Amino acid sequence: MSKPVLSLQGIQKRFGGIYALHKVDFAIKPGEVHGLIGENGAGKSTLINIATGLFPHDAGTVHLDGHPFKPDTPRAAATQGVYVVHQEADLFPQLSIAENMLLGEGLERNALGLIQWNKTNAHAARRVAALGESFNVRQDAAGLTVARRTMAEIATAVTHKPKVLFLDEPTAALSSNEIDTLFQQIEILKKQGTAIVYVSHRLNEVLQLSDQITVMRDGATIETGPVADWSMDRLIATMVGRSIEHGAGKREVPIGGVRLDVQHAQATTKAFNDITLQVRAGEIVGLYGFVGAGRSEFAQALFGLHPMHNGTVKLDDVPINIKNPRQAVKQGMAYLPEDRLVQGVFRGHSLKHNASVSILRKLSRFGFINNQKETDLAAQVITDMQVRTDSMDQPIGTLSGGNQQKIVFGRWQATAPKVLILDEPTRGVDVGAKAEIHKLICDLAEKGTAILLISSELPEIMSMSDRVITLSEGHQTGEFIPERDGEVAIAAAAVPKQQKDSCTSTKKASRLAKLLEFREAGLFAFILLLCAIMTGLRPDSFATTENFLDILVRAAIPAILAQGAMFIICTGGIDISIGSMMGLTAALTAMATKQGLPPIPTLALGMGLGILLSTLNASLSLIARIHPIIVTLAGISIFRGSMHLVTGGHEITLMPDTFRAMANGTLMGIPKICYYVIFVTAIAHIILRYTLTGRRVLALGNSESAAQLIGLSKTRLTCFVFAFSGALVGLAAILQTGFYGKVQSNCGEGYELQAIAAAVIGGTNILGGRGSAIGTLLGAFLIALVYNGLILLEASAYWQNIFVGSLILAAVALDAFLTRMRRAAQ
């Protein structure tokens, strides 16, 4: 017998006061497939996350190859050979699949450190091909189906020949062909000696693949044994267990008429299909299923949070059409959400305010809250729910999970609903609170409320429900009476059966949207069109070399600033102080020149100053952990004010010719300043497209959490983009001074908006993650062209600013529209 490659002993993990894991012993040998099963919330994911370095454990030991193993990050775990393929991959949606696969470990680069895209793509394509898949690795990850994303992740993990590979529900989205491929890969990996932990709700798959199976329940490993010892029935029985803590269960109450009647409900997203159910007054109907069964999606659609594609809903025999939660509440529905922290509580707000929110308007007259009524209500909720607290004014975040849950429950009970949907009402609460919540549910049923109870805990479903409906992968798979049919039958119906063929074909986005994707080409065509129109309107003045050069010069300074702004926006940030920063830098460098500083050192000084000021902006927003908009908003007035202080509000004129020669005049018939623009654009293009730093900047803007998973530093990347922008601000300041030979007190004013507009028009996503240097250059040119056109058409120059504002809005709205189209197409 070989020794285990990875072993966990006595692992404990608490979140707040609640144990997620309290007794986990798990070991896996090389070349073994180890099935890991358990209900939702049994602790499987927590186990994986601890073993792969997402968070540390509180007690116990982990060994890899006999040595203590405590990785700080998933990246660190991966370098030691422990990989994980998550069920829902955290991806960089606006980067190509090849990049998603390879960015963490490094893309293919040449001797200069520049990325070789052909090699990178070929490398990724090879990995995909090895899995027997054939999809275009150059495509954006956002356009990929979940199945293919999973396959891409598996492909990445497989090529590393890992020591240990965790597969978390890998087949949830796969079609039968893909599952066959996956199983073949698993066989190959086994032969290579990889230890595979296979987590799945599809028990037949687990039985088919595994050598060993471990069952978890309530944060502990219950039993481990070779596959020969297990059968489907025994797996289900062990998984479900026998719970003794649910003493009371449901009380007998008289069951009335049908209150909620749902016929053939179907989600637009296909998360659930053709669900038909009825809940009577006083009845508790349990809805049972595993991850991906579509339970919460169904409940939220009933409550008006998501649109329903098909189906009818009747409440007390009246057909209703609910479009938003407010209508749902008005009709007499209530929904206790699944994720208390995200969807339930307002952490920093008081108990009282948390309790009253759903009926606050009923407690108000002419909009004014009746304080007495609200206090009475909160007191009522606290007594009814037996919440243990000193004061209803203390923030709800200071209470235990169970008490928080009772307050949210009380909030909905106070609306006196006809139908109450409870989504995991006792998840993460202690045993005592659980029993109390169960009692409260019974009290409500007694009053004639129809209750739909969603839970992943079979014992809870068994003891509380009059009837149980099972869902599996979006389909209704059966209806049971708990006492009559028993829990094994219910669990068996909920266990996902064999692979349905998921629809892998992506609907094509509309042609319009497709066309608009080619932003640079479209922009170029638009510019040509504008030029053609202008030539037609003003043949004599527009279509001249002189005028063309004029447009180029006008575009130059904003174009340089825009490349920096583009980088900042790519990370999801913004700097609106660059205009003022440019003014201050111009004034200081001009004064230095006047003191006799030669041109080249002045240039260095200007860029240095820009980097300093800009990095200051970055550091402050990083320290306060706030969006840079606030810091740079203040920066506008600080920099502009400082500029006036140093210049005394006067212009600086008569710059020496040696200085002016840097920017003024022409070279080979073209203004010198244009060469700087070409140089800066080229640099920006190369950094963004061909360096790891550039790709990491984009990755950060795509998904901060995914960037963290592959070990990218937000601080470093943010400082980099701001420093880059600062250097360009310095350069722009010097060029502007050199070109005009003076620094006016409004130097740089309004340039921040032109720069941001140029970047956004050029296809930079204002929310981060996508940018283009060439597009930005074209954007700057377009703005200059519009200005020029307005002047030639003798339109008042005063209307110019309207165009910058409108162009930003139009570009951003276009982006929002495209994103929606893309989502609709998936």
Partner 1 sequence: MIQLLSRHREATLFLVLVVLFTGFALTTENFLDWFGLAEQTRYLIVPGMLAIPMTFIIATAGIDLSVGSIVAMCGIVLGLLYRDAQWPIALACLASVIAGLLAGTFNGAMSSYLRIPPLVVTLATMTLYRGIATGLSRAKPINQFPDGFVHLSNGDLIATADNAFYLPFPILPLVIVSIVGWLLMRKSWVGRFTEHIGENETAAIFAAIPVAHLKCALYAVCGLVCGMGALFNVALYSTAKSNAAMGYELEAIACVVLGGTRISGGKGSIPGSLLGLLIIGILRYGLDLAGFESKFVIIVVGILLIVTVVFNEWLARQGEQQK
Binding to partner 1, residues 569-598 (CB under 8 A): 574, 576
Q: Which of 27, 51, 140 is nearest to 702 (CA)?
A: 140
Residue number, 98 or 308, with CB nearest to partner 1: 308
Region binding partner 1 by CB under 8 A among candidate stretches 228-236, 631-639, 684-692, 781-789: 631-639
Pairing of strands 212-217, 33-37: parallel
What is the rounded CA–CA span in Å between residue 216 and residue 663? 71
Task: Report the 10 Å Cβ neighbour count for 683.
Answer: 14
Can you give the three-state secondary structure of 643-667, one letter per residue? HHHHHCCCCECCCCHHHHCCCCCEE
Extract the tokens encoding 442.
Answer: 């019974």
Query: Which of 237, 591, 620, 825 contacts partner 1 by CB under 8 A?
Result: 620
Residue number, 346 or 518, with CB nearest to partner 1: 346
Q: Does 15 bind partner 1 (CB under 8 A)?
A: no
188: helix, strand or coil: helix
CB of 361 to partner 1, least distance (A): 5
Extract the tokens encoding 545.
Answer: 């070399």
Region binding partner 1 by CB under 8 A among candidate stretches 44-52, 210-218, 717-725, 808-816: 808-816
**CB 151 within 8 Å of CB 177:** no
CB of 644 to partner 1, least distance (A): 4
**CB 188 within 8 Å of CB 31:** no
- As a whole number of angstroms, the longest Cα–Cα distance in the chain is 98
Can you give the three-state secondary structure of 131-180, one letter per residue? CCCCCCCCCEHHHCCHHHHHHHHHHHHHHCCCCEEEEECCCCCCCHHHHH
Can you give the three-state secondary structure of 326-351, one letter per residue? HHHHHHCEEEECCCHHHHHCCCCCEH
Contacts with partner 1 by CB under 8 A: the residue count is 72
Residue number, 434 or 640, with CB nearest to partner 1: 640
Residue number, 346 or 679, with CB nearest to partner 1: 346
Query: Which of 398, 541, 547, 693 contacts partner 1 by CB under 8 A?
Result: 398
CB of 528 to partner 1, least distance (A): 26
Burial of 602 (0-12, 13-18, 19+ CB in 10 A): buried
Q: Does 3 bind partner 1 (CB under 8 A)?
A: no
H/E stretch holding 697 reads: helix 692-702
Region binding partner 1 by CB under 8 A among candidate stretches 107-115, 454-462, 532-540, 799-807: 799-807
CB of 450 to partner 1, least distance (A): 19
Query: Which of 40, 502, 691, 800 contacts partner 1 by CB under 8 A?
Result: 800
Residue number, 116 or 327, with CB nearest to partner 1: 327
Residue number, 197 or 271, with CB nearest to partner 1: 271
Q: Which of 184, 160, 158, 180 is nearest to 171 (CA)?
A: 180
Region binding partner 1 by CB under 8 A among candidate stretches 163-171, 187-195, 287-295, 812-820: 812-820
**CB 449 within 8 Å of CB 417:** yes
**CB 381 within 8 Å of CB 294:** no
Q: Does 213 bind partner 1 (CB under 8 A)?
A: no
Q: Does 416 bind partner 1 (CB under 8 A)?
A: no
Q: Does 411 bind partner 1 (CB under 8 A)?
A: yes
Extract the tokens encoding 9.
Answer: 């002993």
CB of 750 to partner 1, least distance (A): 8
Burial string for 509-547 (b: 16+ CB within 10 Å, else e) reads beeebeebeebbeebbeebeeebeebeeebeeebeeeeb
Q: Does 624 bind partner 1 (CB under 8 A)?
A: yes
| Phi, psi (degrees; rounded to nearest 5) at 793 | -80, 5
Query: Which of 3, 270, 349, 823 contacts partner 1 by CB under 8 A?
Result: 349
Q: 276-305: which residues touch partner 1 (CB under 8 A)? A: 305
Residue number, 133 or 575, with CB nearest to partner 1: 575
Query: Which of 129, 503, 533, 634 contacts partner 1 by CB under 8 A?
Result: 634
Residue number, 209 or 566, with CB nearest to partner 1: 566
CB of 231 to partner 1, least distance (A): 42
CB of 458 to partner 1, least distance (A): 26
Region binding partner 1 by CB under 8 A among candidate stretches 198-206, 442-450, 730-738, 806-814: 806-814
Q: Does 766 bind partner 1 (CB under 8 A)?
A: yes
Residue number, 715 or 806, with CB nearest to partner 1: 806
Q: Does 637 bind partner 1 (CB under 8 A)?
A: yes
Residue number, 184 or 746, with CB nearest to partner 1: 746
Task: Report the 10 Å Cβ neighbour count for 698.
Answer: 26
H/E stretch holding 33 reads: strand 33-37
Q: 367-386: which residues touch partner 1 (CB under 8 A)? A: 367-369
CB of 818 to partner 1, least distance (A): 12
Binding string, residues 21-50; x marks residues near partner 1 by CB under 8 A:
------------------------------
Pairing of strands 164-168, 82-85: parallel
What is the rounded CA–CA span in Å between residue 715 and residue 53? 21
Query: Which of 734, 756, 780, 783 contacts partner 1 by CB under 8 A?
Result: 756
What is the rounded CA–CA span in Å between residue 817 and residue 821? 6
CB of 369 to partner 1, least distance (A): 6
Query: Which of 192, 801, 824, 826 contacts partner 1 by CB under 8 A?
Result: 801
Query: Which of 242, 484, 508, 625 contacts partner 1 by CB under 8 A?
Result: 625
What is the rounded CA–CA span in Å between residue 817 and residue 823? 10
Extract the tokens encoding 185.
Answer: 């890969």
Burial of 502 (0-12, 13-18, 19+ CB in 10 A): middle
Q: 48-77: which residues touch partner 1 (CB under 8 A)? A: none
Q: Does 753 bind partner 1 (CB under 8 A)?
A: yes
Can you name the residues that pair with 244 across neighbouring β-strands?
none
Query: Which of 177, 535, 806, 826 contacts partner 1 by CB under 8 A?
Result: 806
Q: Does 503 bind partner 1 (CB under 8 A)?
A: no
What is the distance, to the nearest Å, from the Cα of residue 660 to the centroid of all Cα atoms in its chain?
49
Q: 306-345: which residues touch partner 1 (CB under 8 A)? A: 324-326, 328-329, 335, 337, 342-345
**CB 280 within 8 Å of CB 255:** yes
CB of 613 to partner 1, least distance (A): 13
- List Cβ neighbours of 114 (8 Å cut-off, separation of 6 or more): 686, 690, 691
Q: Does 623 bind partner 1 (CB under 8 A)?
A: yes
| Phi, psi (degrees; rounded to nearest 5) at 217 | -155, 135
CB of 579 to partner 1, least distance (A): 12
CB of 335 to partner 1, least distance (A): 7
